[in-house]
Structure 1
Amino acid sequence: MADLIVGIQWGDEGKGKVVDVLAQRYDYVVRYQGGHNAGHTIVVDGHKYALHLIPSGVITPHCINIIGNGVVIEPHALIHELEQFGGAEALLGRLFVSDRAHIILSLHGELDSSLERQNAIGTTKKGIGPCYTDKIARVGLRACDLRNLYECGRDSEQGKIIIQKLSKRLQSFIESLDSNVEHSTATGNEIARLLEENLASLESAAKILAPFITDTTALLWEAQEQGKKILLEGAQGSMLDIDHGTYPFVTSSTTIAAGASAGSGLAPRDIDYVLGIMKAYCTRVGHGPFPTEDSGARGEILRDKGAEFGTTTGRERRCGEFDALAARYACKLNGCSAIALMKLDVLDHLEELRICVGYEYKGRRIEYVPSDLEYAKPIYERMIGWAGKQCKGVKDYDALPEEAKAYITRLEELVGVKIALISTGADRSETIYR
């Protein structure tokens, strides 16, 4: 059986730390969606690792790490990420990439930037959306194409097919770019130049990544037969899900638990336990509805004390109060078995806590998440904080301030799921298990 880690807010909940903490109990850690727009920060003995594509089990020596078919991969971003672990050779045999995962091309990022200028969503402009668009349109390049390009060469039958497919995509990209982009009026010679540049880039990446590319679904099935323990790791958060999030201000993949099967090849019945990850407050990066956002002093405190800056982009995160309605909604979507509550220590500096327990929506009070969340205003319940006391670094539940324990109990009541793990700091060791 496999277990699943999933974010239940707008991302950046601290999933990387939880996966790192729990990875010691597992044999395989699998990333199943998203791309290098995701960022997981892990701190072990004071050393910080920034992960974007590589699963968070990489810090645990015995873990096999898999980038599943639901992930979109920018080859050179992955190669760059490998360098913090000593380069590709250091992870051979411990990292595998699905041969069905789709490849992000350089012009995907350019098209992403162009689309963002036309309709600001708040994307990372890394080409994630356009790559998923190609995937759904059935015109994308996959990791198996990258491997074939390396093993067979561009003059082989497989190589010619790849070149033909890439040439068509480049022409389509050029037609899609707006008039402000240089390539939009490219000549045939320019297309040929772009084709050669992209082929050369793919070939150089393939030399390094080809040994990692395999049928990871078959690998996982074999692991199941051997009784291995598997942990599935999501990226982003449930409120950014393409179907159930705050559309159109969402990511381009299925971020909820349902996406884990499609993105890994494991059947739904193979997933046993779902651990939802949420902060003790809320944050969001980019544009879109965020009812509990605080643009004043409280938001600044949360941003400062919580170091709320994106791992991938460095952007300031929007900060605000805990939204119990959004958390309950996400827990139901994911079928959460339990919750990990992150960054409780960030609230050490607040004398009063606020929890959103309802919305004022079109002239009435509601207690659910509407599809047009931008029209909802928060209704707060207030609790006494524990300013002057400390959760930071506490490793025993009984040692927490009474006000902190009361806050945890109230969140459990409102969300409807047991809080089984509490993080009181960034380091792996600063964790409470209940």
Structure 2
Amino acid sequence: MDIVLGLQWGDEGKGKFIDLISENYDITARFNGGANAGHSIERNGKRITLKMIPSGIFMKEVQNVIGTGTVLDPVSFKKEILNLQLFDHTIQPEKNIIISKKAHLVMPTHKLLDIFMEENPEYTTIGTTKNGIAQAYSNKILRQNLRVGDIWSPDFQSRAQHILYRDYKMLEDGGMIVLPALEEISKEFFDAVDFLKKFTCTETEIYLNNALSKGKRILAEGSQATMLDIDHGTYPYVTSSSTTAAGACSGLGISPKKMGEIYGIAKAYCTRVGNGAFPTELLDEFGDDLRMKGNEFGSNTGRPRRIGWLDLPALKYAVMINGVTQLVLTKADVLNGVKSVAVCTHYELEDGSLETVSGTLSENIRPVLKWMNGWSADFVNMKSGSELPEELKEFLSFLEAALEIPVTYLSTGPGREQILKMK
């Protein structure tokens, strides 16, 4: 099993890379997160954002697994499937998507609870997508939730209705004016559950391990990114699941002994959405220009992303804990034409000491920047890494030496084919 992971704060371009290489695999498997993810893929000049559906869906011979470590919102899933079929009517998702019976359900009231907590001054506001993901995971841990496999139980409707009523009453008691009405969200939810029953739901751990024993190739797909990991990210401004290589194993039920290549995706600069420490953040006109040039707006929410220089201490940390074997670098083309580019090589702490590897960021650290010559090139017609300008080659060599892993792919534009295989 090979794994594709984001190494920063998300939005690194995982969907494009998975779409590109998934033809080399028999199965793509999503191991974490829910509809809070957004993997953008371009096809025939059109762009679509996948949320729950694995990015291998456009390969007709590839099976796509939504694994046990995910949380599935039936309402969002139904909308995503219908949107996908409008985008490409040749896709037959009911034949190419397999869902874990053990994946937990996102209830409609989970979204309302998410909104309530984000807007209530009694709680820490972290800037979530308000998709109810944390509430689903927290109820999973509290053992108060329902799973996909429960939808076939004869008492499912009464159990689900009890949860919806309980949550709705809690929100009303908390002073929230709850819209839409309970009856309306209940009907939409149960209609979506009926739609969900059209899909194959099984014990995906057994399915995936049987596939591996038969020599099938699996590509594990992570959502969000390492610095948003619930344990290893910039807590509390993180997601609610494990986004690391270890999370792929637990989320899919596959032994770490069966891991192969671990592809880490990173931008040539940094972005993040929502609150939290961001040592290299650019709060000037250049940052604004880079946001527009790179189209740095959330694929799921449309929110403007915060922009910063490449952060090596955080990137080294992500490479270390994931055991990354190959680096895929994106957005170098966005820096095209910039006279000088910077990379944060160290953090200077309050006591004057320096950190070169770090996963614990605070507002009180100063980034130490290394400035390098910028590059200018015609990326549109570029076919080989040998055609890259010397300044960009030096930038890539610097990263390889610092991270001790090879840059094997370089994205040169937003298009599906705009990526160079370097090695």
Q: Which has the higher helix share?
A: 1
Any idea what SS the aligned residue of 2:57 has?
Answer: helix
C-alpha displacement at 1:392, in angstroms? 4.5
Q: Which residue of 1 aligns with 2:130?
A: 125
In 2, the alpha carbon distance for the partners of 1:270 and 1:172 equals 41
Q: Contact 2:348 / 2:355 at 8 angstroms: preserved in 1?
A: yes
Residue 155 of structure 1 is matched in structure 2 by none
1:4 Cα deviation after fit: 0.2
- Match of residue 378, structure 2, among 376, 384, 390: 390
Out of 303, 312, 337, the position equivalent to 1:315 is 303
Displacement of 1:418: 1.0
Q: Which moved more, 1:305-314 or 1:264-273?
A: 264-273
Q: For residue 58 of structure 2, what is the aligned residue in structure 1?
A: 59
1:409 matched to which residue of 2?
397
Q: Tell me, in whole angstroms, the C-alpha distance in 2 between the residues paired with 1:49 and 1:398.
A: 32
What is the SS of the residue equivalent to 2:301? coil
Number of paired residues? 414
- What corresponds to 2:341 in structure 1? 353
Matches of 2:356 and 2:206, distance apart in 1: 44
The whole-number CA distance in structure 1 between the counterparts of 2:254 and 2:175 is 44
Distance (Å, rounded) in 2 between the aligned partners of 1:337 and 1:131: 33
Write the letter of the residue equivalent to 2:289.
I
Cα distance, 1:170 vs structure 2:
3.3
Distance 1:373 1:58 in 2: 39
2:174 — aligned with what? 179
Partner of 1:151: none
Instruction: Give a deviation string over 1:146-179, Cα, whole Å, max 9, x none.
Output: 2x1xxxxxxxxx3335513541463155336673
Q: Where in structure 1 do 4 or more consecutive aligned residues deviate above 6 Å?
A: none
User: Superposed, which structure 2 residues align to 1:273-422 within 5 Å?
Assistant: 273-364=261-352, 365-369=354-358, 371-387=360-376, 389-422=377-410
- Deviation per CA, 1:380-402: give whole Å up to 9, x if none: 00001014x33345231010111
Shift, 1:12, TM fit: 0.4
Give the Cα–Cα distance (whole angstroms) in 2 for the partners of residues 178 and 391 of structure 1: 58
Q: Aligned equivalents of 2:29 and 2:114: distance in 1? A: 27
Q: Which residue of 1 aligns with 2:10?
A: 11
For the residues of structure 2 that align with 1:96 and 1:6, how far apart are their CA atoms?
21
Contact 1:105–1:198 under 8 Å retained in 2: no
Pick the aligned partner of 2:189 from 199, 202, 210.
202
TM-score, normalisation: structure 2: 0.93
Please list every run of 5 or more consecutive structure 1 residues that lacks an aligned counterpart in the other structure: 149-157, 185-189
TM-superposition CA deviations, 1:298-317 (whole Å, max 9, x none)? 21222111111111000000
Q: Which residue number corresponds to residue 229 of structure 1?
A: 217
Please, what TM-score do these two structures have when normalized by structure 1? 0.91
Structure 2 unaligned regions, length at least 5: none
Post-superposition offset of 1:267: 1.3
State the Cα distance separating 1:223 from its structure 2 match. Answer: 1.2
Separation (CA, whole Å) in 2 of partners of 1:377 and 1:37: 31
| Selected match of 1:104 from 106, 116, 124 | 106
When structure 1 is superposed on structure 2, of 371-380 and 51-60 the one drifting more is 371-380
Within the alignment, does 1:116 sit opposite 2:111 as a pair?
A: no
Supply the AA of the counterpart residue of 2:105: I
Q: Any conservation in 1 of the 2:228–2:237 contact (CA below 8 Å)?
A: yes
- AA at the equivalent of 2:198: P
Cα distance in structure 1, aligned partners of 2:380 and 2:267:
14
Which stretch shows the higher mean deviation, 358-367 or 127-136? 358-367
Query: Which amino acid counterpart does residue 31 of structure 1 have in structure 2?
Result: R
